[in-house]
Amino acid sequence: MAMKFSDYKGAFTGSGRPLSRLDATLDVASSDPFLQPEVFAGIAQELAFPHLRLSGSSSYLDAVLSAINFQHRVKRYRRPTPGHTNLQELENLASQPIFDHTHCSSQRQTVTQPPVDPVAISHLSFSGKEGDTGTFQIRLTQAPTSTVTLTFITGNFLVVDADATVQNGTQTTIRFTPQDWHQTRTVSFIAELDGVCTNRDQGNVINYTLTDGLIFNGVYDLGTIANTYTPDSSHFNIDLDFRNDYLGFWTVERRSLAQKAANDWAESIADEWTELQLNSSIKLVGNDGYYTDSTFTTQRYVDDLVVFVGSLNSNGLAGGFGGPEYDFGGWVTSPDLMPRVAQITIDITVGDEYLYNVVAHEIGHALGLVGLNWVSYLQQDLTTPQTAVFQGGYSRAANGGNDIPLQSQDGANPITGEYDYWHPAAQVYSIMSYQWLYDVSGPTTIDYAMLADSGYSIYGVTASLPATRPTIVKASDPSTSAITTTSDTSSSTSPVTAEINSSTISSTANTSFQRPTPAARAFACSCLVCSGRWTALNPVSDLSAAIAQV
């Protein structure tokens, strides 16, 4: 409780304090050390504060007031402090009670209780480390008369999911009803990577607001977030983010294997791009490869390329899906011509024996192979399905002087009747080819050459290997010669104006525990592109029209 005696015009004048302090205000809370009435009264005698706020119980305030009046009367005959010329004023002041009890009682009628937080937060489970996910439990402590909406608002580099359910995306609100208000809810959060090399000591707070049935604003402080991530400005980095693994597929061992696949691509790339700070919502990819209506929120730092890795259960119909998120880069209408953010999602039926290959294949799509970023797309001659090729000069040199035939040359999808222009044909020794996907040990010479033709600087192809850079090991091709670095690149085309309405996600074929046959792989092809789900351009009929728009 707080009491303000603002209309009292007297003053304390002890200890030689000047009267110029009479317009000040003294606040004393119940948490202060002046709890004994006599002690507080003695201190009050030494201060020149006419505006005095006291807090405490009624009996405590009565005791304080009595002590102040008693002590002041005892001291009122003391000789005035030298320098105070109006002795009569001081004498008159000393003869009056400091506070009168009646006035104090009337003031008590306006005393209000401070608001009590109707929210209880408990059971925090969090490592305290940057990049990790944590949870806590939350509930109301009092029954509302109507539905209450609790909304979370976080600081920078914190993302809260109010229902801790990955499948439906990031939720920011909880609703409590008069019937279920007492039920505990579990909330999850991510302490995002911030791109700074020190611990994050401040700003790690989760604000919450109650509206409707209850009104309150509160804050939950997570404390210091320990730094775990240091940006690498000297190498190209492909960072994998597993926040969308709602099926729990990505164990520590599988994550390590996936990161190795990403590193095998990244170590070949000589580029270093400007850092990117995300504060965005991205649509989740469903079991069928389509975007869902749910979005996940991220505030993480991106060094060069971040790939959000999820899991799916397609009942063995697809090994996975992968591709750039064009809202951030990878297309002519994107903020950046090269991919900066991508998603891949892997079917839980993929056996560990083939997991590296499937992830490497999907990361190839995330980088833009084949034809999935704008530069790569412009290397394709899609005049007819039967003659469709990837025409990059480096790829041609790696393929014995021949353009890379695309899978459309192997025939239409037997289920959809549509053609696939996003994978090399069966005869091409490439991890991006369905025929060789499970047989190569990693990206091949042709794969790195296609990457060079897709806008990347590649060690050993377009850039010299530095002394400190590890040797790029390419899967050996039994039928073609080694790549050269003096290839004809005259077939490259400048970007042209085009429009894209949605991101492209491509897929591998069936990758169940048993090694799939070539026929099974063809039947299982259900990627967005060859299923007609890519709405940007019809690759056969619209390319010339797009170029004509320039």
- The 10s digit of each residue's pLDDT in 459-516 is 999 987 665 554 444 554 444 333 333 333 333 322 222 222 222 333 333 222 232 2
Q: Are residues 10 and 43 in the same domain?
A: yes
Q: Are residues 202 and 242 in the same domain?
A: no
- The 10s digit of each residue's pLDDT in 263-297 is 999 999 999 999 999 999 999 998 888 899 999 99
Q: Are residues 347 and 495 in the same domain?
A: yes
pLDDT of residue 156: 87
Q: Which of 221, 246, 273 is the last residue of a domain?
A: 221
Q: Are residues 353 and 261 in the same domain?
A: yes
Q: Are residues 386 and 459 in the same domain?
A: yes
Q: Count of domains in the chain?
A: 3
Please check whether residue 320 lies inside any domain of the structure.
yes
Q: Are residues 21 and 87 in the same domain?
A: yes
SS3 107: helix
Q: Are residues 141 and 250 in the same domain?
A: no
Q: Are residues 292 and 432 in the same domain?
A: yes
Q: Return the structure tokens found at 371.
A: 């034809």
Q: Which of 75, 108, 141 is the last residue of a domain?
A: 108
Q: Are residues 182 and 257 in the same domain?
A: no
pLDDT at 329 over 90: yes
Please check whether residue 226 lies inside any domain of the structure.
no
**Which residues form the domain of 407?**
238-548
Half-sphere exposure of 420 (CA within 13 A, CB side): 32
pLDDT at 371 over 80: yes
Q: Are residues 152 and 186 in the same domain?
A: yes
SS3 62: helix
pTM: 0.68
Question: Residue 151: which CATH number?
Answer: 2.60.40
Q: Are residues 144 and 208 in the same domain?
A: yes
Mean pLDDT for the stretch of residues 390-411: 96
The DSSP line for 380-424 is: EE-S-TTT-EE--HHHHHHTTT--EEBGGGG---TTT-----SSB
pLDDT of residue 116: 83
The CA-atom distances, in angstroms, between 30 and each of 27, 35, 53 are 10, 7, 11
Please check whether residue 233 lies inside any domain of the structure.
no
Please check whether residue 250 lies inside any domain of the structure.
yes
Please check whether residue 445 lies inside any domain of the structure.
yes
Please check whether residue 113 lies inside any domain of the structure.
no
Q: Are residues 151 and 23 in the same domain?
A: no
Angle at 265 between CA 261 and CA 269, to 5 degrees: 155
pLDDT of residue 67: 54
Q: Return the structure tokens found at 308.
A: 């959000």
pLDDT at 30 over 50: no
Please check whether residue 232 lies inside any domain of the structure.
no
Please check whether residue 23 lies inside any domain of the structure.
yes
